[in-house]
Amino acid sequence: MLNIVEEIIFNFSNNKSLYIGERLTISEHMIQTAMLAEKNKCSNDLICSSLLHDYGHFVLEYPNQLVSDHIDGNHETIGANYLKKYFDDLSEASKTSLKLQGGIMSDNETKQFEKNINYKNAIKLRRFDEGAKKQNIKIKDIKDYKELLVSKII
Ligand SMILES: [Fe+2]
């Protein structure tokens, strides 16, 4: 079972694909997201979720193609209610993704979303996600999260 953690670390270290529509790699983006969760003193569950929230993109061969072709990569839509208020703060790539994922939630969809016991954490994660697109900042190494990955996955 330790192999899955080694595989995650390998993929983080070796995947150089840029995060969709942004100027940093998916690995850098996910590590920055986890660092924001840590900075906000979130639970280890949420830090680990933040670290792995875009891991599915590693299996997509051409992630940048999704935005340019306007295809939804079936990446889970989270926090759309949050985005309603903060839509203008989103990067252009995020605005495009949001439209592809169905756009801003209706009041009814919002009520459904709030029934999910994890919706508050989903909104927090989405906030960290949006803030984790900085270039040229010092970030942790994926190996710094090995212990956390082992504790949450194995
Ligand atoms: Fe993300």
**Helix 146-153, helix 44-52: angle, nearest 10:** 100
The amino acid that residue 36 corresponds to is L
Residue 43, pLDDT > 80, answer yes
30 alpha carbon – ligand 1 mean position (Å): 6
What is d(CA 151, CA 147) in angstroms, rounded to the nearest whole number?
A: 6
Section 91-95 average pLDDT: 86
What's the pTM? Answer: 0.78
46 alpha carbon – ligand 1 mean position (Å): 14
CB 117 within 8 A of CB 21: no
**Lowest-confidence segment of 45-49, 60-64, 117-121 by average pLDDT:** 60-64
16 alpha carbon – ligand 1 mean position (Å): 15
Query: How far from 150 is each of 4, 97, 145, CA to CA, in Å?
Result: 9, 31, 9
53 alpha carbon – ligand 1 mean position (Å): 6
pLDDT digits 0-9 by tens, 64-89: 555 555 555 554 443 333 334 467 77
